[in-house]
Structure 1
Amino acid sequence: MSATIGYTRRLVAAAMLLALAACNTTDIASVEEPAAVPMTGQTNEPAPGFENVKAGSEQDFILNVGRRIYFTQDSATLDSVAKATLDNQATWLANNPGWLLKLQGFADDSGSASAMQALSQKRADAVMAYLTSKGVDAGRMWAKGYGKDREVRDCEDRSCKVQNRRVVANLRTQRDAL
């Protein structure tokens, strides 16, 4: 009896495989979904939703240049990634002389409020000094450290804290209060 059950199970399984093999859904899929565009790794097309970003606008600066610089814990030293972003900012600012730049420094909660205030100011000053060294007029920029008072997120883990160790470059059309 068990041999008959085993044979029947194999027969049912084979019938199911034949039925699945007979199904051809490629015709349906080609009607329902457009063909995928080959990925070349290179494109000059804007991302969907950003087709109307005007060159030289604040959105252009944010999307195409980057406005955030990140730091390691207890440091105001610019790394190679930060310098690359700042090089792009300097070039963009040279091409768009009507903009001013407010540099806002921030810190995480790894030290006292006064220590983090001083560190965030050092970070903002380091960014300003680098941009000045790349030809951006110091009169177009001002730097303010906010310490740990304006955290992106209040958190304990390292990956979250790094978001708070930053300088944010904000474009302005006129100077505002520090």
Structure 2
Amino acid sequence: MSLFQAMRRLSAAALLVALAACSTTEVASVEEPPEQPMTGQTNDPAPGFENVRPGSKEDFILNVGRRVYFTQDSATLDSVAKTTLDAQATWLNANPSWLLKLQGFSDDSGSQSAMKKLSQRRADAAMAYLASRGVNADRMWAKGYGNDREVRDCTDRSCKVQNRRVVSNLRTEKEAD
């Protein structure tokens, strides 16, 4: 049994004990909330994000997503990466004033030179996919950083995947990079 399951059972048991200890038979009248779908979704933005403007960097980060991940030693886009890139292409095509810098990264599973080349191939793959979805190639550029900018410095395989990524960063002008 997981810790989460154990805590749920303990909470349920505590609730039953508390209810059994009640000695009143009165039932309080409670006004029913308005009917809402049980999806866990609301139309209200999360606290602190009420003023995010459509077409802004924040809109892109929060509502589209800017990271795609890769398997070890691969620059092949999987279906999850393509779904994220499809959303990015739709957003970029609707917001043509933004430029896009695609930054490729790798883990430490090879030589520095090999990882830099792999990270460049990853960034190039993401850029080619976006171009195939109608994003003007003149608005984009790709740069591989190898494993110079790891998200996590770790030996565990499940954590290294965070370093095998491409990050899409919006820009207002092209960098000399």
**What TM bracket, shorter-length normalisation?**
0.7 to 0.9
The answer to whether 1:45 aligns with 2:5 is: no
**Structure 2 spans left out of the alignment, 5+ residues:** 1-16
Give the alignment's Cα RMSD to 1 decimal: 2.5
Of the two, which has the highest radius of gyration? 1
CA apart distance, 1:92: 0.4
Identity among equivalent pairs (%): 71
The answer to whether 1:138 aligns with 2:141 is: no
**Superposition misfits of 4+ residues, deviation over 4 angstroms:** 23-27, 35-39
Equivalent residues in 2 for 1:25-104, closer than 5 Å: 40-41=38-39, 42-104=41-103
**Structure 1 spans left out of the alignment, 5+ residues:** 1-15
Aligned positions, number: 157
**Secondary structure of 1:63's aligned partner:** helix
Change in Cα spacing, 1:151 to 1:25, as seen in structure 2 (3 Å) is farther
Report the TM-score, using the length of structure 2 for normalisation: 0.80
Q: Distance in 2 between matches of 1:75 and 1:106?
A: 11
Q: Distance in 1 between matches of 2:27 and 2:60?
A: 44
Report the TM-score, using the length of structure 1 for normalisation: 0.80
Q: Distance in 1 between matches of 2:26 and 2:72?
A: 54
Change in Cα spacing, 1:36 to 1:70, as seen in structure 2 (3 Å) is farther
**Secondary structure of 2:170's aligned partner:** strand
More helix, by proportion? 1
**Secondary structure of 2:103's aligned partner:** strand
Change in Cα spacing, 1:95 to 1:25, as seen in structure 2 (3 Å) is farther
